[in-house]
């Protein structure tokens, strides 16, 4: 079962609930979101659940006690039917207003980052993205600048005011990235890296969890549960296409699973049309389709000079094309009752 604490619950009141669970021999884990704290009770027998739930619901600042049937208990809509936004800096994901994450696939140099960040901010993006650590299919491809890249992203944030997210690939990188970035990204290849998921669950920064290359919706949400069960509810799900028999695009964008996930979980769900299509000319129509289908935001690759990019140039928009796309996104958002 899940105990949902009221937003104003104090630490003493949280500990009182935990003490009650300990007295009955139940395990527990506490997950802290921006606006909600939930306590998962583990080991309650079916015969006891109803009585225990009634007792716990009488405690001060316990908002409600929810029996959970889903295998992903903490991220399920059963916990909270009112979606709670996750914030990266001032950008809120899962609300009436869309938030856009944009920037180059890889951090290459200071000039490239500043050009990209200034351009996407001017066009309306609210979060900057750039990969310092790059997981590549070939060991001979550009692997990123590592810690130097993180420092360049920090400089870019100071110069433009845009918060930034960047990918973390290994448990050994989590402390560094969490210290300096505004959000951590788990890439598609690491969706099932459960040690890494548990490690990012221990930090308070928002985590963008991309769907695995061949993961089902259930597997995707179970991966999110690993993060939540380690204490971090600040999770943003990202649909970025899956591998199918189709060869004309890089991956197959699955907007149906995006819509399903928004109904199944209280977490925000965004879409990455860049990795889904692999072709810059296909990014705008898929981005607009995602907004029309209810996405809570977009993640789009933008590079000042895609023809010189060290990674994913063919799927990157130029600043001019990104600005045009943002104008179209505003119109579609307004048409479906959203804003940008």
Task: For 173, list phi and psi in degrees, rounded to 5.
Answer: -95, -15
Question: Same structural domain for residues 31 and 100?
Answer: no
Q: Is residue 78 part of a domain?
A: no
With H, G, I as helix, E, B as strand and everything else as coil, classify residue 190. helix
Question: Same structural domain for residues 127 and 221?
Answer: yes
Question: Same structural domain for residues 152 and 7?
Answer: no
Q: Tell me whether residue 52 is exposed, middle or buried, using C-beta atoms within 10 angstroms of its C-beta: 0 to 12, 13 to 18, 19 or more.
A: buried
Taking only Cα atoms into account, the Rg of the chain, rounded to an integer number of angstroms, comes to: 20
pLDDT by residue (tens digit) across 82-119?
A: 677 899 999 999 888 899 999 999 999 999 999 999 99
Q: Is residue 79 part of a domain?
A: no
Predicted local confidence at residue 194, as pLDDT: 96
Question: Same structural domain for residues 125 and 273?
Answer: yes
Query: Which residues constitute the domain of residue 177?
Result: 86-335
Predicted local confidence at residue 81, as pLDDT: 64
Question: Same structural domain for residues 22 and 98?
Answer: no
Predicted local confidence at residue 55, as pLDDT: 87
Predicted local confidence at residue 80, as pLDDT: 65
Nearest-10 Cα torsion for 197, 201, 202, 205: 120
Q: Along the 340 residues of the chain, how does pLDDT read in single tens digits?
A: 889 888 889 999 999 999 988 888 888 888 887 777 888 887 767 677 778 888 888 988 898 888 776 778 788 877 666 677 899 999 999 888 899 999 999 999 999 999 999 999 999 999 999 999 876 666 756 677 889 999 999 999 999 999 999 999 999 999 999 999 999 999 999 999 999 999 999 998 999 999 999 999 999 999 999 999 898 999 999 999 999 999 999 999 999 999 999 999 999 999 999 999 999 999 999 999 999 999 999 999 999 999 999 988 999 999 999 999 999 999 999 999 998 8
| Helix boundaries (H) for the chain | 11-23, 46-57, 110-123, 147-160, 174-180, 194-200, 217-229, 255-264, 273-277, 283-292, 319-335
Cα gap 170→147, rounded to integer Å: 13
The answer to whether 147 and 132 have CB atoms below 8 angstroms apart is: yes
Predicted local confidence at residue 137, as pLDDT: 65
Contacting residues for 277 by C-beta, under 8 A, at least 6 apart: 241, 249, 250, 251, 253, 283, 286, 315
Predicted local confidence at residue 136, as pLDDT: 62
The CATH number of whichever domain residue 216 belongs to comes to: 3.20.20.70
Number of domains in the chain: 2
Q: Is residue 296 part of a domain?
A: yes
Question: Same structural domain for residues 124 and 187?
Answer: yes
Cα gap 142→99, rounded to integer Å: 29
Question: Same structural domain for residues 17 and 143?
Answer: no
Question: Same structural domain for residues 33 and 92?
Answer: no
Predicted local confidence at residue 183, as pLDDT: 97
The answer to whether 205 and 5 have CB atoms below 8 angstroms apart is: no
Concatenating the DSSP letter of every residue in 62-102 gives EEEEE---SSS-TTBTTT-SS---EEETTEEESSSB-EEEE
Q: Is residue 271 part of a domain?
A: yes
Per-residue burial over 59-87, b = 16 or more CB atoms within 10 Å of its CB, e = otherwise? eebbbebbeeebebbbbbebbbeebbbbb
Question: Same structural domain for residues 43 and 121?
Answer: no
Kindly report the pTM of this predicted structure: 0.85
Q: Is residue 72 part of a domain?
A: no
Predicted local confidence at residue 140, as pLDDT: 59
Q: Is residue 53 part of a domain?
A: yes
Q: Is residue 166 part of a domain?
A: yes
pLDDT by residue (tens digit) across 295-315?
A: 999 999 999 999 999 988 999
Question: Same structural domain for residues 107 and 241?
Answer: yes
The CATH number of whichever domain residue 33 belongs to comes to: 3.30.70.1140
Question: Same structural domain for residues 214 and 104?
Answer: yes
């Amino acid at each position: 079962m899940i105990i949902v604490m009221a937003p104003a619950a104090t630490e003493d009141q949280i500990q009182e609930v935990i003490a009650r669970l300990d007295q009955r021999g139940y395990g527990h884990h506490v997950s802290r979101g921006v606006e909600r704290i939930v306590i998962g009770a583990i080991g309650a027998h079916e015969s006891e659940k109803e009585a225990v739930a009634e007792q716990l619901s009488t405690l001060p600042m316990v908002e409600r006690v929810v029996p959970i049937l889903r295998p992903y208990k903490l991220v399920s809509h059963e916990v909270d039917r009112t979606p709670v936004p996750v914030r990266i800096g001032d950008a809120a994901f899962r609300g009436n207003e869309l938030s856009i994450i944009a920037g180059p696939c890889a951090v290459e140099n200071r000039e490239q980052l500043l050009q990209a960040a200034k351009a996407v901010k001017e066009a309306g993006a609210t979060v900057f993205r750039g990969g310092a650590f790059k997981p590549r299919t070939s060991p001979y491809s550009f692997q990123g600048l590592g810690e130097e890249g993180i420092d360049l992203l920090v400089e870019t944030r100071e110069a433009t005011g845009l918060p930034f997210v960047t990918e973390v690939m290994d448990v050994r990188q989590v402390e560094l990235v969490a210290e300096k970035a505004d959000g951590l990204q788990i890439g598609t290849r690491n969706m099932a890296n459960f040690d890494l998921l548990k490690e990012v669950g221990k930090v308070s920064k928002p985590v963008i969890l991309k769907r695995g290359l061949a993961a089902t919706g259930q597997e995707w949400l179970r991966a999110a549960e690993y993060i939540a069960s380690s204490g971090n509810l600040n999770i943003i799900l990202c649909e970025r296409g899956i591998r199918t028999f189709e060869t004309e695009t890089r991956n197959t964008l699955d907007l149906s699973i995006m819509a399903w996930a928004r109904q199944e979980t209280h977490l925000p769900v965004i879409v990455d049309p860049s990795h889904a299509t692999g072709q810059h000319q296909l990014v705008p129509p898929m981005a607009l389709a995602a907004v029309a289908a209810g996405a809570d935001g977009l993640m789009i690759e933008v590079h000042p000079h895609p023809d010189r990019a060290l990674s994913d140039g063919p799927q990157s928009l130029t600043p001019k094309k990104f600005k045009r796309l943002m104008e179209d996104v505003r119109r579609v958002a307004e048409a479906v009752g959203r804003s940008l």
